[in-house]
Amino acid sequence: MKPRKMKDHVYWMGSVDWDRRLFDSLIPLPDGTSYNAYFIEGSEKTVLIDTVDPSMVDELLTQLENVSKLDYVVSLHAEQDHSGGIPHILSRYPDAKLISSPKAKGMLMDLLRIPEKSFVTVSDGEAISLGDKTLKFIHTPWVHWPETMVAYLKENEILFSCDFFGSHIATTDLFVSDEGRVYEAAKRYYAEIMMPFRNVIKKNLEKIASYEIATIAPSHGPVYPRPSFIIDAHEDWIDGPSKNLVTLPYISMHNSTKQMVDFFVSSLVENGVSVEQFNLAVTDIGKLAISLVDAGTIVIGTPTVLGGPHPNVVYGAFLANALRPKAKFLSIIGSYGWGGKTAEMLAGMIPNLEVEVIEPVLAKGLPAEADFKALENLAKTIATKHKDHGLK
């Protein structure tokens, strides 16, 4: 694709990756993604903000064909989907200076072997003049690596946010046209990538609140012409109240746990609690992560295998612990054949979750009447706790 004009002398460059389906060999990308770079032509200096994934660097080099002089390359984030093209750009423009945060400098030298002489580091709040335009750098650590920063183009009120406010979505829309579609993609992105750092991100949201922002230009997904849409969404995801929702990841081997899940879900619904259940044998973990953004309670369903939880459930619990959702309660349901330490092992795998653990319900073999009664009581307990905490 050719460069696309965003404003006078401000252009989108980069690549739309329609085919990519996995990020970090972990994160599903059902809608592909994009790697957005931005080119600013000031009256005196030119800047390229970020680059692209190494697999797509040829497209960026072609987009820059008519740019004879590049003064600066800015690296807002050292991860290779944005920084991977930097060595190629510096090779084409050997006089260009690479602007980064001090922390990013070391990381880029480690990750890409970029020589130290290429760098100019900027402190928090430092600005550079491009002649008729001013680019200010705001350090926003931990969205989602320690070195991340954003750049603010003062005269156009554009915030270049890199991963912050991103969405994994391949589209020809330069600007967001369908907020509903982008909301879902951005929520998935937040859930999978940003949620573990939500307490730090909250501070970064406060930090950028003092700037007049007319446009947010992230490095994944379309540009936001209405920044309040995505800022408000992040405030809700980060700090809004949990919902009257149980997220229920589970596995069943011989249908006993599945019978418990089915009965339990029905009991929760009868008690006015919404449920989203995820069979970990087949689920898209991104959908599970999205659900965890809102869940008031997490209930894990697992059979006992080899004396503990099913390995897929161990993976699910590890993920939930790493993502640090704001859920308030957690419980465990499932079936076992002759013994094991499933509940104790699972409870020990979630130290990051600030949850009250509600008494698990574990059935020996097929669930019997007493087990169904216990599940009904668990559903009632969760409904009462949600009500007492005002979850809606």
Q: How many chain residues bind ligand FEO (CB under 6 A)?
A: 8
Kindly tell me which of 192 and 294 has the beta carbon lying closer to ligand FEO: 192
From 76-84, 102-110, 303-311, 353-361, span contacting ligand FEO (CB under 6 A): 76-84
Q: Looking at beta carbons only, is 81 or 294 nearer to ligand FEO? A: 81
If the CB atoms of residues 223 and 374 are measured against ligand FEO, the closer one turns out to be: 223
Instruction: Encode burial over 132-149: b for 16+ CB neighbours within 10 A, e otherwise.
Output: ebebbbbbbbbbbbebbb
Cβ distance to ligand FEO smaller for residue 33 or 335: 33
Q: Could you say which of 17, 79, 192, 371 contacts ligand FEO (CB under 6 A)?
A: 79
Q: From CA 166, how far away is CA 217, in angstroms rounded?
A: 9
Based on the shown chain and the rule CB under 6 A, indicate whether residue 77 belongs to the binding site for ligand FEO: yes
Tell me: does residue 326 bind ligand FEO (CB under 6 A). Answer: no
Residue 50, interface with ligand FEO (CB under 6 A)? no
CB atoms within 10 A of CB 293: 24
Residue 337 C-alpha from the chain's centroid: 38
Q: Which is nearer to ligand FEO, 48 or 330 (CB)?
A: 48
> Taking CB under 6 A as the rule, which mask of x and - marks residues 215-244 in contact with ligand FEO?
----xx------------------------
The distance from CA 98 to its chain's CA centroid, rounded to whole angstroms, is: 27
Cα distances (Å, whole numbers) of residue 264 to 105, 114, 133: 52, 56, 60
SS3 content of the chain, % helix, strand, coil (to 5): 35, 25, 35
Residue 84 to residue 87: CA distance in whole angstroms? 7
Q: Is residue 81 within the footprint of ligand FEO (CB under 6 A)?
A: yes
Instruction: Tell me whether residue 77 or residue 97 sits nearer to ligand FEO (CB atom).
Output: 77
Give the residue with the Cβ less far from ligand FEO, 75 or 219: 219
Q: Report CA Rg, the chain.
A: 24
CB nearer to ligand FEO: pick between 45 and 82: 82
Write the DSSP symbol of residue 190.
Answer: I
Closest CA to 221 of 182, 267, 269: 182
Does 105 engage in binding with ligand FEO (CB under 6 A)? no
For residue 310, cis peptide bond before it (omega within 30 degrees of 0): no
How far is the C-alpha of 79 from the C-alpha of 24, rounded, in Å? 11
Stretch of 75-83, 196-204, 207-215, 279-287 contacting ligand FEO, by CB under 6 A: 75-83
Whether the CB-CB separation of 325 and 293 falls below 8 Å is answered with yes
Sequential DSSP letters for 357-379? EP--EEEESS--HHHHHHHHHHH
For the CB of residue 40, give the shortest distance to ligand FEO in the complex, in Å.
20
Of 163, 294, 371, 376, the one binding ligand FEO (CB under 6 A) is 163
**Cα 225 to Cα 216: distance, rounded to the nearest angstrom:** 7
State the nearest-atom distance from the C-beta of 321 to ligand FEO, in Å.
21
**For ligand FEO, which residue of 9, 20, 82, 328 counts as binding (CB under 6 A)?**
82
- Region near ligand FEO per CB under 6 A, out of 6-14, 78-86, 180-188, 293-301: 78-86
Task: Report, in Å, the least distance between residue 227 CB and ligand FEO.
Answer: 19
Least CB distance from residue 126 to ligand FEO, whole Å?
22
**Residue whose tokens read 């699972």:** 346
* Residues in region 137-156 near ligand FEO by CB under 6 A: 144
Comparing CB distances to ligand FEO, the nearer of 146 and 240 is 146
From the CB of 53, what's the least distance to ligand FEO, in Å?
9
CB neighbour burial string for 263-276, b if at least 16 within 10 angstroms, e if fewer? bbbebbeebebbbb
Of 137 and 278, CB closest to ligand FEO: 137
Q: Which residues bind ligand FEO (CB under 6 A)?
A: 77, 79, 81-82, 144, 163, 219-220
